[in-house]
Structure formats: C-alpha cells, structure tokens
Structure 1
Amino acid sequence: MNQPGRNSRSEILAPFAVRSFRFQWPADLLTSWGIEMEVLILGWYILTATGSVLLLTIYGSLQYAGTLIAPMFGLAGDRFGHRNVLCVMRAIYAALSTAITLMALAHVLTPVAALVIAGVNGLVRPSDLAMRNALVAETMPGDRLMAAMGVARTTSDSARVVGPLAGALLVTAAGLPFAYAVVTVFYAIGCLLTLGVGAPYAAATRLASLSIWRDLREGVAYVWDTPESLAAMWLAFLVNMTAYPLTLGLLPYVARDVYHVGQTGLGTLTASFAIGSLAGSVLISVIGRSIRPARMMVTFSFVWYVMLLVFVHMPGINAGRVTLVLAGLAQSLSMTPMAVMLLHGAGAKFRGRVMGVRMLAIYGLPLGLLAAGSLIPRFGFDATASAYCVAGGLLTIGIGVRWRGALWPLSAPANTR
C-alpha cells in the first residue's frame, strides 16, 4: 500500500547516489539564493533611488547582456570542462558582490555604479544555467536525467521562494551592506562546492585541435538541422521575450504601481511564481520517466500564457499570487522537458555548445523588457501585458503546428522517455 510513496521518494533521491550531484546540488542552491537576493535588492534600490520604470527595465536587461556570447561559454565548457568554467563564473559573482558591499559600506554606491556592475555581471550570469544543465547531463546516467533535472531545478525554484523574501527582510532589518555581505558569502561557498563537481572531461582533448569558429559553426548547424531543437530554440526565444518579462523584471513595477505594496509584497509575488515552479520541478522528479518532453514543452508553454493573462487581470494581490503559482507550475512543466530534450539529442559532443546556443534565446528577455519599458507609460500595464500574453500564446500554437511532425508523434525522438 505504501509502494507509491516509496517509489516517489526513490525517484527524487536517486540522483544523489551520484557523488558529483551531492556537491552540485548545494553549490547550485547557494548560488541561486545569492542571485535571487541580489536581483531583488539591487532592483528595488534602483527603482526607489530613481523612481524610473525605464531604468528598472534597463537594469533587468543588463543582467542578460551576455546572452550573445553564451555559445562561447558552452564551447569553453566543452573544451576545458564545464565544472572549471562554472567555478570561474561563480568566483566573478563573488568578486562583484564584494565590490557592491564595500561601496555600500562606504556610502558611495549610486544607481550608475549599480547599473555598471549589473552589466558586467550580465556578461557572465546568463550562461550559469547552461553550465549547470550540461554538468548534470555529463555526470548522470541517461535513465535518471529527467528526474535529476527536476531535482536540479529545485535549487533555482526554491531560491525564487526564499531569495526575494530573505533579501527584502535583510535589507529592511539590517541594511543593504549587510544583505550584500550575505549574498557574497553564498557565492563564495557555492564556488568552493563547485570544485567537487564532475570529473576530468573526456572530450576536451578531442576538441582542442579544432578551431573556435569551426566548433561554434558545428553547434549552430546541429541546432539548425535538427527540427525539434530548432523549434525549442524559437519557443525559448518567444517565452523569454513575452512571458518572462512579466514575472522577472516587471514585478517591482507591478508591486509598487499596480498593487501598491513595498518590498515585502514584492517578495511574496516573486515567491508565488517560484512556489509553482518548485512544485513543477518536484512533480517532474517524481514522474520523469513517463514524460513525453516535446509534447509537454509545447502544451504547458501555452498554459503558461493563459495563466499570465489571468494574472494581468486579477483585481487584488491575493488573487494575483494564486495565478502566479499556477503560471510558475506551467513554466516549470514546459522548460525542464525542453532542456532534457535538447541534452538527450545533443549527446556528449554537442552538449555544451547546444546549451550555449539555447542561452542565446534569453536575448529575447532584454528585448521584451525594453519594449515594455517604453509601452507601459504609453498604453498602461494591463494593455501591454495582455498583448504580450495573447501574442505569445498564438505564436506557441504556430510553433507547435509548424514543427508538428518532430514534436507531437509519440514515436518522435523528441518524445523519447
């Protein structure tokens, strides 16, 4: 009678039987907590110091400045080891957060300085998720990959629950310098734990004799010539441009100007979306072996847009929180199967480069944020956000129809369990 419960627990715990994952999970967790705390702390500082929604969207956009060079990070991971690249990236996070801590202590922090540091950070941070996913695929047996990806995503999803609330409470209780010192400690410990992840990368020697541009062309050509991968890239670009802006860069505006709440209210809105994402990640870790990745990716992307459209028209913050939970659930049930589908298809040779190309899709997020920053003052939040949701939902259907042969049949490689 208790067998289902035992099976669920064993699916969730199975990835931890791999030594590398026992280091990677807490390393990713602390890094994710630090990122989410930093995003809220600095975003709220810029908004309150300047009162400008345009500067807020510029700040959000700068965090993704590195999307155009993400394939280079993927290539570096394939050449020198994903663990080594990830360690260097996380050391950079720690150094930059230390700089902000020291400026805040010396009372010389300004919105301009914050934007400059956010821009430097944004050159590196977009590739963090790609390196994480590649490391999981590199160190995890294939039959555990879907479950492992679900468990791995709980690090970022739980951070979106804990990080914004913790960041808001720390700033309110102890001030910005202390809050940023905590962020720095999280980054530093995460970097040290990352040193224990993985093993020497077997493909590095093989790639060393090839040119950088040839390696990159091979990765891009693989994506372009593989229908399910190309469809996933277009869908990833679409959701980054029209869905993520509503729950990432624009939530401070929604909290202050739509719901008229402060940092704590903003934290609860961010946490609501993250709770849904966390629930989705846990669900995937339990039922991973029965998931048809491509079908799930398209279906729940559409559901995500529906839930966001409902959120836009919710009259109060409590109803808004509920719909954000459902939107977060749909987001997780769409994006995690997408990552697994791409990793399965790429294999060891293209894994880093394909995930690097996947990160290029994040470039849609700053484009969407900047457009929203110009449209909201002219047309209002409701009209702008509704247009994003309707356009995104229709284009998702279009992607599903255009690549139906690669995404929908149960026998398609993209739906391999």
Structure 2
Amino acid sequence: MTVFARVPALAPFQIRSFRFQWPADLLASWAFEMEGVILGWFVLVSTGSVTALAVFGSLQFLGTLVSPFFGMAGDRIGNRNVLCMMRITYVCVALCLMLLFMTGLATAVSVFALAAIMGLVRPSDITLRNLLVGETMTAGLLMRAMSVSRMTADSARVVGALSGAALMAALGSGVAYIVICGVYLVSFVLSLNVGLRRVRMVGETAVPLSPIRALREGFAYVWSTPDVRAATLLAFLMNFAAYPLVSALLAHVAKDIYGLDQTGLGWLIASFATGALLGSIVLSMHGARIRAARAMIAGALIWFTLNLVFSWIETPRWGEALLIVIGVAQSFCMVPMAVILLRTADPAFRGRVMGVRMLAVYGLPLGLLLSGPSIEHVGFAVTGSLFSLIGITFTLLIASHWRAHLWHPQAAANRH
C-alpha cells in the first residue's frame, strides 16, 4: 500500500474496488477491440461496401438510445449489479459468434444481427465504469483514477487490435472467438468484486421514480447546469465529427487508401491507441494540476485540427505517426470531460447525468452513417476535412457561449 501512496499514478489502487475494477475493465476492453477488428474486417470483405462497414460500426452504438436507463438502473439496484449483467451478456453473444465462425455459418446478416444485440448493451459499459469510479473515489483521486481507468480502453486498442488481427490471420475467426469468450468470462468474474453496496443518496426520493419521470429529471438537470450541459454538447460533437475518422472508417483507410491488410489495420488502430495511452499516463501523473474544462476545450480544437491533416495523408507511416498525436489530444479532451461530469454533478443525479451523457455517443453512429455515403461520393479527404471544420466551428461556439463556466480559472469545472 505504501507503493500505491508514493506513486501518483498508482494512488487509485489504494481503493480495493479499483484493484478489481481496473483489470475487469481492461479485459472487457481488450475483447471489445479484438471483436471490432475481426467483425469489421469480415463485414468489409464479405460485402465490399464502405457503407455497410459504416452501418456495422453504427450498430455497435445502438444502445446509446437507452443508455440513460442503464444509469437509472445503477442508481436503483446498484452499478455493480448492472455491470455484471451486461458482461455476462457479452459472454453469451461471443459464444454465438464463436459457433457461427467455427461451423462456417457466419454471414454478414448474422453478424449484423448479433452486433445489434451487443450494440444495445455495450455503449453503456463506459457509463457504469465511470459511475463506479465516481462512487468509490475521493475527490482528490478522481482525475488520476479516471486517467488510469481510461488506460484500459487505450491499452486495449493497442493489444486488442494487434492480437485480434494476429489471431484471425494465424488461426481463423473461430479460434480467435474462443479466446474472446475466455477474456469476457474472466472480466465478469472480476466485476463481481467491484463497487460499493447500494446506499441511498442525500436528496433521493424514498419512493422510486418511474423511468420516464427519472429520465425527464435527468435531462432537466443537465440542461439547467451550464458546465454539465456544455460538456454533454461537446461530447456529442466529438462523437459526431471526430471519432468516425479514427474508428470504424480506419478499415477503409487501411484497405482502400493505404493498400494494407487486416494486420495493417491493426497497426493503425494501435497507433491511435498508443497516443491515447500516452495522454492518459500523463494525466494520471499530473492531472491533479490540470484545469479540466480548459484542457477539454484545447484538446478538442487540437484533435479536430489533426484530423483535418490526417484526412489528406496517403502514406501509411505518416498516417500512423499522426494517429499517435491524435490519440494524445483525444485523452486531453475526453478524460477531463468525464471528470467535469462526475465532479460537478449532484451525487443524487450522477447516474442519470452519465446516462444522458452516453446519449451523446449517438453522434458516432450518426456521423458514420453520414460519412460512409459521403466518402463513396467525394472521397475520404474531402469528407474528413468537412467534418473537422464543422467540429472546430462548433467547439469555438461552445467555448464562447459558456466562457465563464469553461475558461475562467475559478469556475467549478476548472477547480483542482
């Protein structure tokens, strides 16, 4: 325990729950990324359509429409219980995909159907992770804990992407899915030891609210709280205009622009994730001195600018190098954003606020559905430039409109 106390990045591991949550989240994220590479490549090869790839990517975020209800369920029955139910679902869906690939019965239609089921549940995984961190961490450890927690997804994009591509190339999709099932199962077992026993928050009503009324109150709270509202709107913008270029559409960049195979795709994904991991490490060590709202705005502007440059690169090595820098900017935008929401939201509304924030992820499938056809008509470079310019414009509008809440050093969102 003295080592945890002396090393800033390890300080969150003083909390018993976090010592179980971090590896559980890490394994789940590894499996997510392995699945993403395997299924994304399968859809692109079997259909030969960028639009189909974009639709597949959007299906993985179908559950953003119901994510507020996962946050409310966490408030009502406990965040750990909801997270465990979600992760046993991952095991069941992965088993179905394993059987399809092992028997040679996998088709684009069956993959789309199972991806839709997974997409109803998986988008809320990050919500429950963040809620459990906010539930178990002290205010002084929150930025470090969120940064270390973010490392699970960032490192997973390196390890999961490369291992998923390597397993698929060497052993086939069926054997790769045996590994994925095992990883999901271990994640579920570890998740059983995460979190606190359900306690009633101050200000919480004794009689449970109906889901619709609770959702309405959650939206009202977000809309009436300036810093929370600004962060939620920016989250939607980042998912709509920034993430599509560095997520599902990387398969198109790898295959049709760089002329790479699935291993090359894995390297592109890993490059972005390596940068994100580096950013998270920096934040875990020095995040306590960073003003969250200022870092969020600056990170967003830098990210969009780098995306604009990336849109015109046609050389794999330069693309990989730039993706590393984009990953760093992503961490400096998204980690402070999560800290703002957890730190400034009333604990009685925290689950609902994070659930409403997850609706912002719906910007990603929307961006994918618009960018896919656009790429087929005007190309990746023009589409990427358009999305990046939209992002820069609206980021500046958000920063200007809520300047007192996002840029003033004494604003609640900027306090250490």
TM-score (norm 2): 0.97
Q: Deviations over 1:198-225 (max 9, x none)?
A: 1211028856532222221221111000
- Whole-angstrom distance in 1 between the partners of 2:112 and 2:9: 39
Moved more, 208-217 or 356-365: 208-217
Matched to 2:333, the amino acid is S
Matched to 1:265, the amino acid is G
- Whole-angstrom distance in 2 between the partners of 1:73 and 1:210: 14
- 1:109 counterpart SS class: coil
Q: Deviations over 1:76-95 (max 9, x none)?
A: 01111111000000110110
CA contact (8 A) 1:78 1:207 kept: no
- Matched with 1:3 is none
Identity percentage of aligned residues: 50
Task: State the 1:107 CA deviation.
Answer: 1.2
CA contact (8 A) 1:83 1:197 kept: yes
Structure 2 counterparts to residues 17-416 of structure 1, below 5 A? 17-203=14-200, 206=205, 209-416=208-415
Matched to 1:415, the amino acid is N
CA contact (8 A) 2:5 2:14 kept: no
Task: State the 1:14 CA deviation.
Answer: 0.6
Task: State the 1:8 CA deviation.
Answer: 10
- Whole-angstrom distance in 2 between the partners of 1:8 and 1:56: 46
CA contact (8 A) 1:14 1:144 kept: yes
Task: State the 1:259 CA deviation.
Answer: 0.3
Q: Deviations over 1:10-68 (max 9, x none)?
A: 11111111000000000000000000000110000011111111110010000000101
Matched to 2:335, the amino acid is T
- Whole-angstrom distance in 2 between the partners of 1:332 and 1:207: 39
- Whole-angstrom distance in 2 between the partners of 1:72 and 1:319: 42
Q: Deviations over 1:388-407 (max 9, x none)?
A: 11111111111101111111
Matched to 2:99, the amino acid is L
- Whole-angstrom distance in 2 between the partners of 1:195 and 1:133: 16
Task: State the 1:347 CA deviation.
Answer: 3.3
Q: Deviations over 1:218-249 (max 9, x none)?
A: 21111000111111111111110111000111
Aligned length: 412
CA contact (8 A) 1:8 1:286 kept: no
Moved more, 200-209 or 225-234: 200-209
CA contact (8 A) 1:241 1:368 kept: yes
CA contact (8 A) 1:89 1:124 kept: yes
- 1:243 counterpart SS class: helix
- Whole-angstrom distance in 2 between the partners of 1:266 and 1:8: 39
Q: Deviations over 1:333-383 (max 9, x none)?
A: 110000000001113211111110000001111111011111111111111
The unaligned stretches of length 5 or more in structure 1 are 1-5
- 1:148 counterpart SS class: helix
- Whole-angstrom distance in 2 between the partners of 1:165 and 1:225: 44
Matched to 1:266, the amino acid is L
Matched to 1:244, the amino acid is Y
**Against the structure 1 CA distance between its residues 36 and 9, is the aligned structure 2 distance closer, same or farther, given a 3 Å change threshold?**
farther
**Against the structure 1 CA distance between its residues 352 and 207, is the aligned structure 2 distance closer, same or farther, given a 3 Å change threshold?**
farther
TM-score (norm 1): 0.97
